[in-house]
Amino acid sequence: MSQFALRPVEASDLDAIFEQMRDPESVRLAAFTAEDPNDRGAFDAHMATVMSSSENRLRAIVRDSQLVGTIASYPSEGATEVTYWIDRGCWGQGIATRALGLLLEEISLRPIRARASSDNAGSLRVLEKAGFHAVGTELSYAPGRGAEIEETILELP
């Protein structure tokens, strides 16, 4: 059985995270991404802000000593929201489900929200398995697709 853990993101992880988050197919599916996933300066500035905030919980997802993604919680519109990014080479292996379960053990505050593009069936399924329920949808501009698309808003009571 493989070793699996969450740990705080370290500066040495940023090169791998940047590469994961600029993969074109991942960007298309996630949809709500950076304006330009290839802009390393913008990525570094964003990560510096995220990593310096005590309100954010940013974790590296590690399987067998390899960084396979990230998962985070952060305040948004008066609630706590979660988000994750899994390296495309690891999709369909239960990593997001396991990581989300571990992160939810760290967070006692409820409710927790999450968002996913409404056509991202895999991500919606991960959230539903963790107990999230759809509470609404909204149309928003998705930089990863260069268009306005529907986003599902979910909540874990």
pLDDT tens digit sequence for 37-77: 999 999 999 999 999 999 999 999 999 999 999 999 999 98
CA 30 to CA 117: how far, in whole Å? 7
Q: What's the order of all strands across the beta sheet hosting 57-63?
A: 4-8, 57-63, 66-76, 79-86, 112-117, 147-156, 133-142
Identify the DSSP state of 94. Answer: S
- Concatenating the DSSP letter of every residue in 65-91 gives TEEEEEEEEEEETTEEEEEEEE-GGGT
**In the structure, what pLDDT confidence band is assigned to residue 1 with cuts at 50, 70 and 90?**
low
pLDDT, mean of residues 91-107 = 96
- pTM, full prediction: 0.94
Predicted pLDDT of residue 2: 78
Cβ atoms of residues 73 and 103 within 8 Å: yes
> Does residue 105 carry a pLDDT above 70?
yes
CB atoms closer than 10 angstroms to residue 142: 19
Write down all domains in the chain, each with its CATH number in brackets: 4-156 (3.40.630.30)
CA 16 to CA 145: how far, in whole Å? 23
**In the structure, what pLDDT confidence band is assigned to residue 94 with cuts at 50, 70 and 90?**
very high
Q: Phi/psi at 155 (nearest 5 deg)?
A: -140, 140
CB atoms closer than 10 angstroms to residue 47: 19
Predicted pLDDT of residue 13: 97
